[in-house]
Chains A and B, each alone.
Chain A
Amino acid sequence: MYSILFSDAEKTYIWDGVELNLRNDGRKRNDYRPMELETDVVTHASGSARLRLANTDILVGVKAEIDVPYPEAPNVGKIEFFVDCSANATPAFEGRGGEDLANEISSALLKAYDVLPLNNLCIVPGFSCWKLYVDILILECGGNLYDSVSLAVKSALYNTRIPNVKGTYIDGTNVDLQLSDDLFECWKLDVSKAPCFVTLCKIGEYLVVDPTVEEEACSTASIVVSVGENGSITGIFKIGEGSFHQNAICDAIKLAGTIGNELNKTLKLALEKEENLGIRRERYGFLK
């Protein structure tokens, strides 16, 4: 990924701090840094969200377009994830530098979102369905990329409004799509099953959530667990070059389940709170 220079003494300081359950910024091992969320920030997208977690800055836009369903799955819609590690984040992403990371994140998202039912996205079975393009823009990297990307994606999907389209058969076989005259007549996706990632970073013998860039540099391996509704696990993979002991991995996954459940609940509350402010609420976007 991206690397930073670091002295042994600083590393030791972080290691010992994690052991004492007091991290450099005063957090405990299971604490997240405060995040800031805003949805509906991009006008041309069907749904969008921006999430800032300390220095990590993620912008997600969802666009819904009409496509033909796969022949093997004629009555479900499609969803696809594209991650763009822009060179704005770090010069290391310049050119094709961020490509590997981008591929990793998008394939992880695709797998984790297997649990999201897409039946609603079908318009006419076998003929047309909605395809959701989820474009993720990484504007700044400040550690804990996976968690923040997944939270931003979930918020953007929550914010997505899909217009009402009716398919009618004309002369038996051909399908005619009719868009409702009122463009504001939309429906919303149900994201209660959508997962979010919890990254557990192994520092020394302990696991921490929401690692900073410095903490990531101190760790040899992290495990990313995607947690869906009610703390169910919908995907696991390892990042980093180290390995885990059997017990450590079981503990990590259980811990991730509880934390992820909490994370999903908190996100839901925040999203509902924002929605209750109405459409006329002030938009901040990039103005500070």
Chain B
Amino acid sequence: MPVDSFRVTAPFNTTDYRVYSKKQNELPKTVQKERHDGRQSNEHRPIVMKIGILSQAKGSAYVEYQNTKVICSVFDPREIPNKSEYSVNGGLYCEFKFASFSTQKRRGFIRDAEEREYSVHLRRALEPAVIRHQFSNFQVDIYVLVLENDGSCLAAAISCANLALANACVPMHDLVTAVSLGLFGEHEIIDPTYSEERSCLSKPYVNQAEQGQGIITVSYMKIFQQITEIVHCGIMHSSSINHYIEKLIAENEKIYNLCRQCLVGNILVHLREKKETEAA
């Protein structure tokens, strides 16, 4: 079926049955102090990070925040297709995709507007970290697939892609990590789940600018102390931004340590294996 690529494709004609359930529509319109999974407001879900899980790709990584599961693969640099001019800086090609069964509503195979938007955010978050002039005229392909989305999938995707890049030995200035913050009035929740995200973005906004409502995702390079990407949707007042960013950075630094551990651990395993084979 030909698709008009200039337009955002219309929603599929089928609808998720849960829409019709009374309970679903009465989803928590607010965020309580006690989170439904029993976490503190500034507590991140437990994180699992693994690298080198795919054998075909040059680098790959898997990140799991309980029910948010993201997989990413990075391939060897290849010449930038359809480009005649010489470009000093190499390119990053990012593709962000939801698996069609990853969300409540089934996703199509063609990338929709949201996925394209996340692809752009992903690229913007990673670009400052990669030393791109070392592979002039080449591009590195990064494919992120969300296997299951239970909130904070962009943050998970950025951290995951960063691990995959490191695993693929693409030269980088620093590690990039990302964290989401959900805002709902006086509640600020780190790493919101899908239902919390929906509550934070439920319209019309009951909280006005003074209190804030919405989601902020910040990706951060710890050593350079640079914010590589910030995405905010919702409503807030400009005076509270300092507070939010400080909170997000503090959390990012924790994830940075995890990423480091993961990478170092992987190298140690490699070295041990090498030693063993040599000994044998």
On whether A and B touch (CB less than 8 Å), the answer reads yes
A residues engaging B (CB < 8 A)? Answer: 71-73, 76, 80, 82, 84, 96, 99-100, 102-104, 106-107, 110-111, 114-115, 117, 119, 221, 223, 228-246, 249-250, 253-254, 256-258
Residues of A within 8 A of B232 (CB): 233, 235-237
Residues of B within 8 A of A258 (CB): 238
List 7 A-B pairs, minimum CB-CB distance, nearest first. A232-B209, A257-B238, A236-B232, A243-B226, A243-B128, A107-B117, A243-B228
Whether A106 pairs with B8 at a CB distance below 8 angstroms is yes
Given contacts A111-B233, A239-B124, A241-B124, A246 and B249 within 8 Å (CB-CB): yes
**In whole angstroms, how far apart are the Cα atoms of A235 and B235 in the complex?**
7
Told that A107-B114, A229-B209 touch, could you supply 15 new A-B pairs with CB distance under 8 A? Answer: A71-B20, A84-B6, A103-B113, A114-B201, A228-B209, A231-B237, A233-B209, A234-B234, A237-B229, A237-B230, A238-B228, A245-B226, A246-B245, A246-B246, A254-B239
B120 at the interface (CB under 8 A from A): yes
User: How would you classify the secondary structure of chain B's contact residues: helix, strand, loop or mixed?
Assistant: mixed
Within the complex, which residue of B89, B201, B241 is in contact with A250, where a contact is CB–CB below 8 Å?
A: B241
Whether B238 pairs with A233 at a CB distance below 8 angstroms is yes
B225 at the interface (CB under 8 A from A): yes
Residues of B within 8 A of A240 (CB): 124
Interface string of B189-228 (1 = CB under 8 A from A): 0000000000001011100110000001000010011111
B56 at the interface (CB under 8 A from A): no
Whether B117 pairs with A104 at a CB distance below 8 angstroms is yes
Residues of B within 8 A of A103 (CB): 113, 116-117, 120
B277 at the interface (CB under 8 A from A): no
Residues of B within 8 A of A254 (CB): 238-239, 241
B25 at the interface (CB under 8 A from A): yes
Residues of A within 8 A of B15 (CB): 71
B residues engaging A (CB < 8 A)? Answer: 5-8, 15, 19-20, 25, 89, 113-114, 116-117, 120-121, 124, 127-128, 201, 203-205, 208-209, 216, 221, 224-239, 241-242, 245-246, 249
Whether A243 pairs with B203 at a CB distance below 8 angstroms is no
Residues of B within 8 A of A238 (CB): 124, 228-231
Whether A236 pairs with B231 at a CB distance below 8 angstroms is yes
- What residue in chain A is nearest B116 (Cβ atoms)? A103
Whether B208 pairs with A232 at a CB distance below 8 angstroms is yes
Whether A232 pairs with B227 at a CB distance below 8 angstroms is no
Whether B5 pairs with A72 at a CB distance below 8 angstroms is no
- What residue in chain A is nearest B228 (Cβ atoms)? A243
Whether A233 pairs with B241 at a CB distance below 8 angstroms is yes
**In whole angstroms, how far apart are the Cα atoms of A119 and B124 in the complex?**
35
- Distance of A190 from chain B, by nearest CB (Å): 13
- Distance of B208 from chain A, by nearest CB (Å): 7
Whether B241 pairs with A241 at a CB distance below 8 angstroms is no
Query: Which of the listed residues A76, A100, A229, A232 has the most CB atoms from chain B within 10 Å of its own CB?
Result: A232
Whether B238 pairs with A231 at a CB distance below 8 angstroms is yes
**In whole angstroms, how far apart are the Cα atoms of A235 and B117 in the complex?**
14
Whether B245 pairs with A104 at a CB distance below 8 angstroms is no
Whether A243 pairs with B221 at a CB distance below 8 angstroms is yes
Whether B204 pairs with A243 at a CB distance below 8 angstroms is no
Whether B204 pairs with A119 at a CB distance below 8 angstroms is yes
Given contacts A99-B6, A243-B228, A249 and B238 within 8 Å (CB-CB): no
**In whole angstroms, how far apart are the Cα atoms of A116 and B227 in the complex?**
29
- What residue in chain A is nearest B87 (Cβ atoms)? A3
- What residue in chain B is nearest A195 (Cβ atoms)? B235
| CB<8 Å pairs between A and B, sample of 5 | A107-B113, A111-B233, A234-B233, A241-B128, A245-B227
- What residue in chain B is nearest A248 (Cβ atoms)? B227
Residues of B within 8 A of A100 (CB): 120
Residues of A within 8 A of B249 (CB): 246
Within the complex, which residue of B89, B120, B208, B221 is in contact with A104, where a contact is CB–CB below 8 Å?
A: B120
Residues of A within 8 A of B229 (CB): 237-238, 243
**In whole angstroms, how far apart are the Cα atoms of A111 and B15 in the complex?**
22
Whether A246 pairs with B227 at a CB distance below 8 angstroms is yes
Whether A233 pairs with B233 at a CB distance below 8 angstroms is no
Residues of A within 8 A of B236 (CB): 232-233
**In whole angstroms, how far apart are the Cα atoms of A221 and B228 in the complex?**
9
Whether A236 pairs with B230 at a CB distance below 8 angstroms is yes
Residues of A within 8 A of B235 (CB): 114-115, 228, 232-234
Residues of A within 8 A of B127 (CB): 241
Within the complex, which residue of B7, B121, B234 is in contact with A237, where a contact is CB–CB below 8 Å?
A: B121
Whether B128 pairs with A82 at a CB distance below 8 angstroms is no
